[in-house]
Structure 1
Amino acid sequence: MEQQPTVGKIGFRYGLILSLISIAYFIILNVVGLIANNAFGWLGYIFTIILIVMAHKAFKDQGDGFMSYGQGLGIGTLLSVVSGVISSVFTLIYIKFIDDSMLQAIRDKTIEQLESQGMSDSEIETALEFSSAFTSPTAIAIFGILGALIGGFILSLIISAITKNNNPELEA
């Protein structure tokens, strides 16, 4: 009899894959100078969606063909957390020891947005002082992990509702 895959194994394996994709995406965005562009940051969630769907399919294919909603939610959330932690640690190391120009790009983008809102120079400076605590390498890593956890959980809630395949023998 074929052994049923576990939520942990599938979630961890696909979390590692997503972290490699996320790191490559981060490096590409940084090299082409689009790292501070919010639209490309949101675009990264497409990778998460694809990998959650692939992980759910792998779980069903490697097992008995069934996956409960809870199993799907667990796989997607674990996948997101594993990827978020690894990617955020990479980002922290990258910014602290390799290239911190990303921080300046974020600062420049923030100034540009504040100027477009009509803020004065003193108001912009005050806003930058306040936001500097949230744009340190450590804060970026922490928010990366939290964003992955929350975003991955929400996506998993939705995707699991679509991809679940309950075992009818267990529902009786």
Structure 2
Amino acid sequence: METSTASPLATPTSVGMRYGLLIGLVSIIISFLLNVTHLEQSPAKWLSLVVLVGGIILAQKAFRRANGEFMSYGQGLGVGMVLAAVSSALSAIFSYFYVAFIDPEMPARILEKGRADLEAKGNMSDAQIDQAMHWTAMFVQGPALVIIALVGGLIMGLIVSLITAAILKNPKPEFE
């Protein structure tokens, strides 16, 4: 009986890093364009999620192709999580620098729109709206912005990777 100790042609880390850099840069460009045009609160913000989903699928397919069309569930999950970590880190760093140096008024715009939306609904008192705005302000500025962006990106990446790895997996047969 012969056992194969050959390492895969591509590792989940190498593929995830490569695609994570690419998806991170694309996400930064999308975020920059949305922020510059003041559309950061519009439905167009979901475009970054579409890019993340597409990037994870492309990365998992590239990993499979590079490894003789085989990919275990764990490898697919690993590719997606490395991609999400790299992409989220780049996006979080960009968000911090954008708010700190390029457009420091962006958090105020977000808070203003949030207050207007809550007032338009009419189901909260002024004290409740003030409390909600206090909490929102803590999350749209400073280090909390980086943490929220990083954790949010990792959670979304995990959810997408769990689903796409289950769909795209093709494990090697055990008795071949």
Distance 1:43 1:109 in 2: 20
Runs ≥4 in structure 1, deviation > 3 angstroms?
119-123
Query: For 1:80-126, what per-residue CA distance to the aligned partner results, in whole angstroms no more than 9, with x for missing partners?
Result: 01100111011101111121222122112211111022134444223
Q: Counterpart in 2 of 1:129?
A: 134
- Asked whether the equivalents of residues 35 and 102 of structure 1 are also in contact (C-alpha less than 8 Å), the reply is no
Distance 1:31 1:124 in 2: 27
- Normalising by structure 1, we get a TM-score of 0.91
- Asked whether the equivalents of residues 81 and 149 of structure 1 are also in contact (C-alpha less than 8 Å), the reply is yes
What is the total number of aligned residue pairs between the two structures? 170
Residues 21 and 36 (structure 1), Cα distance of their counterparts in 2 relative to 1, 3 Å cut: same
Whether 1:106 aligns to 2:117 is no
Distance 1:171 1:111 in 2: 62
Q: Counterpart in 2 of 1:115?
A: 119
Q: Counterpart in 1 of 2:71?
A: 67
Residues 171 and 55 (structure 1), Cα distance of their counterparts in 2 relative to 1, 3 Å cut: farther
Q: Secondary structure in 1 aligned to 2:40? A: coil
- Asked whether the equivalents of residues 35 and 105 of structure 1 are also in contact (C-alpha less than 8 Å), the reply is no
Whether 1:31 aligns to 2:36 is yes
Distance 2:144 2:46 in 1: 19
Distance 2:79 2:106 in 1: 32
Whether 1:57 aligns to 2:61 is yes
Q: Secondary structure in 2 aligned to 1:167? A: coil
Moved more, 8-17 or 124-133: 124-133
The alpha carbon displacement at 1:49 in A equals: 0.9
Residues 102 and 171 (structure 1), Cα distance of their counterparts in 2 relative to 1, 3 Å cut: farther
The alpha carbon displacement at 1:4 in A equals: 1.3
Q: Counterpart in 2 of 1:162?
A: 167
Q: Secondary structure in 2 aligned to 1:5? A: coil
In structure 2, runs of 5+ residues without a counterpart are: 1-5
- Asked whether the equivalents of residues 99 and 141 of structure 2 are also in contact (C-alpha less than 8 Å), the reply is no
Distance 1:94 1:132 in 2: 16
Distance 1:90 1:54 in 2: 24
Aligned-residue identity in percent? 39
Q: Counterpart in 2 of 1:10?
A: 15
Distance 1:124 1:157 in 2: 37
Distance 2:161 2:102 in 1: 33
